[in-house]
A and B are shown apart, each in its own frame.
Chain A
Amino acid sequence: MSQADLTMEGHSTGLTVGPAFSVPTKKLAMWLFIIADTMTFAACLVAYGFLRNGTPNWPRPFHSITNVALMTFILLTSSLTMLIGLRSARAGDKAGAFRWIMITATLGVVFALLHVREWLGLIDEGMTLFKNPWGTGLFGASFFSITGLHLTHVTCGIIALIAVGVRYKGGRYNADDIEVLGLYWHFVDLVWMFVVPLVYLLNLAH
């Protein structure tokens, strides 16, 4: 039975054949992925919360908020540049959209580099997955797992931004694809809003 037959039959019986919630399939798939990924991050963060709550000598190794504040600012700004890129794509400004997507990817790279710099600083101070000089060894495992998972998402996002941006410029993708990619990038930003208070700010050395 063809799509046209299904549609005809749908009209005659009062049923309609079309994407669920009138949302295009690619966008719906991205939303379902985001919901699934929310569970992954929620599981990690809740497990981290229980560990932190149940461990008396939980380390508080962060002396400064400068780096994490800068990382937050950069990631939030990259969400704005992504939105501007989408607006340009919707307006048919291909060069502008490509430029803003590449700016977003660059901000993502800066975020990742700051993240790696922070990791290296902590490793220099003696922190590994299983031990650290400040308290329970569980801290290193949970810190590297959560921030590593987030950094992996950022890295995948950067690769996707470059790939989709180049294909959009080449005419193989359209503004809808930019919107779907934007959903992913904003999600990465959204997760960071929970990682920062739980993993960094609650562990500031006072």
Chain B
Amino acid sequence: MTTVEEHKSDGIGKDLIVYICLLALAGVQFVIAYQNIDASQMFTRMLVVAIVEAGLAMLFFMHLWSEKRTFLWFVVIFTVSVLLGMQYGWTDSSRMVTGVPYSKVH
């Protein structure tokens, strides 16, 4: 499914480097968990690290990097637009949970 050239040029070394990077990034998440910062800052930092981890895993472990660029962009654009589209509905869920700004449940 992937090209012969790719398998010739890519050794196990690249996989190991990505693996070590992922372990290190996971470690960073654990370090962030013990930082003395508020929850929203902690959440943002952890989410950024998780997105970088996911990107590395998709590009190299799932071989998206060696696929045709059109396919790579298809996956990225399709996934991101659906995830963003979901946020459109979540604002209403937030209003129901927090009762803000339209109503306050007492």
Interface residues in chain A, defined as those with a beta carbon under 8 Å from any beta carbon in chain B: 21-24, 27, 31, 35, 38-39, 42-43, 46-47, 49-51, 53-55, 65, 69, 72-73, 76-77, 79-80, 83-84, 87, 90, 176, 179, 182-183, 186-187, 189-190, 193-194, 196-198, 201-202, 204
Q: Which residues of B contact A21 (CB under 8 A)?
A: 67-68, 70-71, 74
Q: Which residues of B contact A23 (CB under 8 A)?
A: 1, 67-68, 71
Check if A83 sits within 8 Å of B15, measured CB to CB.
Answer: yes
How far is B70's CA from A72's CA once the two chains are assembled, in angstroms? 32
Q: Is the interface of B mostly helix, strand, loop or mixed?
A: helix
Check if A69 sits within 8 Å of B30, measured CB to CB.
Answer: yes
**Chain B residue with minimal CB distance to A80?**
B19
Q: Which residues of B contact A187 (CB under 8 A)?
A: 62
Question: Given A50-B94, A51-B97: A196 and B19 within 8 A (CB)?
Answer: no
Check if B86 sits within 8 Å of A90, measured CB to CB.
Answer: no
0/1 interface trace, chain B 19-31, chain A, CB 8 Å (1 if under): 1001100100110
Check if A193 sits within 8 Å of B57, measured CB to CB.
Answer: yes
Check if A186 sits within 8 Å of B57, measured CB to CB.
Answer: yes
Q: Which residues of B contact A27 (CB under 8 A)?
A: 1
Across the interface, A47 reaches (CB within 8 A) one of B22, B34, B74, B93, namely B93
Having A55-B97, A87-B7, one finds 9 other A-B pairs with CB under 8 Å, namely A27-B1, A35-B79, A46-B86, A50-B93, A51-B97, A53-B94, A83-B15, A193-B53, A201-B30
Q: Can you list 6 A-B contacts (CB < 8 A)?
A: A21-B67, A35-B79, A54-B97, A76-B19, A76-B22, A179-B63
**Chain A residue with minimal CB distance to B49?**
A197
A-B contact count (CB 8 A): 123
How far is B1's CA from A76's CA once the two chains are assembled, in angstroms? 24
Q: Which residues of B contact A183 (CB under 8 A)?
A: 62
Question: Given A73-B23, A179-B2, A190-B57: A80 and B47 within 8 A (CB)?
Answer: no
**Chain B residue with minimal CB distance to A184?**
B62
Kindly provide the distance from the CB of A8 to the nearest chain B CB, expressed in whole angstroms.
24
Q: Which residues of A contact B70 (CB under 8 A)?
A: 21
How far is B15's CA from A51's CA once the two chains are assembled, in angstroms? 38
Check if A50 sits within 8 Å of B97, measured CB to CB.
Answer: yes
Across the interface, A79 reaches (CB within 8 A) one of B1, B61, B79, B82, namely B61
Across the interface, B86 reaches (CB within 8 A) one of A24, A42, A72, A202, namely A42
